[in-house]
Amino acid sequence: MYPQDKGEVFEALRRLGAQTRDVLFSRGSLFVEGDDDEDLLNTGWPERVAGYKVNKLGGRDRLEKEIKELQAAEHEDKLDASEYFLFDRDNKPTGLTDTGLVKVKQWDRYCLENYLLDPVAIYNVSNAGNFDNSFSRGKLESKLEDAALAQLRDDVAQEIYQEHFEPDNPGFRRSEIADASNFGEVADNLLARLVSIREQLAKVDDSRWAREFAARCEAKQRELLPKGREDWKSLANGKLVLKEVYKELGPKLSFPDFKRRVVAEMSSKKTPDWGEVDKVLGSLIPKGAS
């Protein structure tokens, strides 16, 4: 099929970040979400991605629409190369399903960096130079877990505040003026919400608010802590956990370079976490061309 016969496909792939030459001269495209995912996958799993063009999505905005367009093009026989999408999980399960050429999968953990939370690999990298500090393997694992559980505290505070304590937002809402016929009606609608917010705030008891908020947070944290301790490697934002430990090590190299070295170390040792990523990639795409 000639390029001019599948303009819709090229346009959809272009919006996703692929170039025309990628579509014409590769076995297909693998779209990933993280800023450094392309580099990390090429470093640690080159045999899996060989022959495929890895493209950064930059988030999932408009992504589902583009994927559906590609799947519609496939249905009309306008797509003749495989397109693979690998999302971060980040507590947002996708409802997209596979078609013959358009495959969709999420990491089993929060993001790719969660698989890099390998204390042995990090220990080996940090003891190979370019760092001011070093920790034992046990200490590294403890620091990784502590950084993950600190996120639980932040998440609990946000959840409790939003569900039980946050007043209405005073920001402008177009829905409140959609049916207004003049500025007087617009003013009445906006003022009604401001009055409602004022009444909500008037009910705040300064002597009890902080105490009740803290008590609810502590109860929620007690409820979630066992699961958090058991699955912190999967549930926490791995990128932030890794960055916290990276900072404590006093690095003399960039964060992307640090991650690249951790992945290279995992790959050389074929660690269990390396194997988990390999398993995910293997379930999504066939091995690339040699």
* Residue 62 and residue 83 in contact, taking contact as beta carbons nearer than 8 Å: no
Q: Assess whether pLDDT exceeds 90 at residue 13.
A: no
What would the mean pLDDT of 226-255 be, rounded to a whole number? 95
CA distance 84 to 61: 17
Region 24-43 average pLDDT: 81
CB 28 within 8 Å of CB 83: yes
Within 10 angstroms of residue 40's Cβ, the number of other Cβ atoms is: 24
121 Cα distance to chain centroid: 22
Instruction: Report pLDDT for 196.
Output: 93
pLDDT of residue 279: 96
Instruction: Evaluate whether 183 touches 139 at the Cβ level (below 8 Å).
Output: no
DSSP state of 130: S
Measured CA to CA, the distance from residue 273 to residue 213 in angstroms comes to 38
Report the predicted TM-score, pTM, of the whole model to 2 decimal places: 0.79
Token pair recorded at residue 196: 């409602």
Number of alpha helices (DSSP H) and beta strands (DSSP E) in the chain: 12, 4
Could you tell me how far CA 23 lies from the centroid of its own chain?
26
Contact 57, 16 (CB under 8 A): yes
Contact 74, 102 (CB under 8 A): yes
Q: How far apart are CA 113 and CA 93, in angstroms?
A: 18
CB neighbour list of residue 217: distance below 8 Å, 6 or more residues apart: 153, 156, 157, 160
**Token output for 208:** 């009890």
* Residue 60, pLDDT score: 67
CA triple 236-237-239, angle to 5 deg: 135
Geometric angle at alpha carbon 153, from 147 and 158, rounded to 5°: 130
Residue 117 three-state SS? coil
Mean pLDDT of 116-140: 92
- Highest mean pLDDT among 16-25, 30-39, 148-157 belongs to 148-157
The predicted pLDDT at position 8 comes to: 55
pLDDT at residue number 245: 96
Position 26 scores a pLDDT of: 52
- What is the structure's pLDDT at 90? 83
Q: What is the mean pLDDT of residues 81-99?
A: 85
Q: Of all residues in the chain, what percent carry a pLDDT higher than 70?
A: 88
Give the whole-angstrom CA distance, residue 101 versus residue 286. Answer: 12
The angle at the Cα of 273, spanning 272 to 275, to the nearest 5 degrees, equals 65
Summarised one tens digit per residue, pLDDT across range 136-178 is 989 999 999 999 999 999 999 999 999 999 999 999 988 888 8
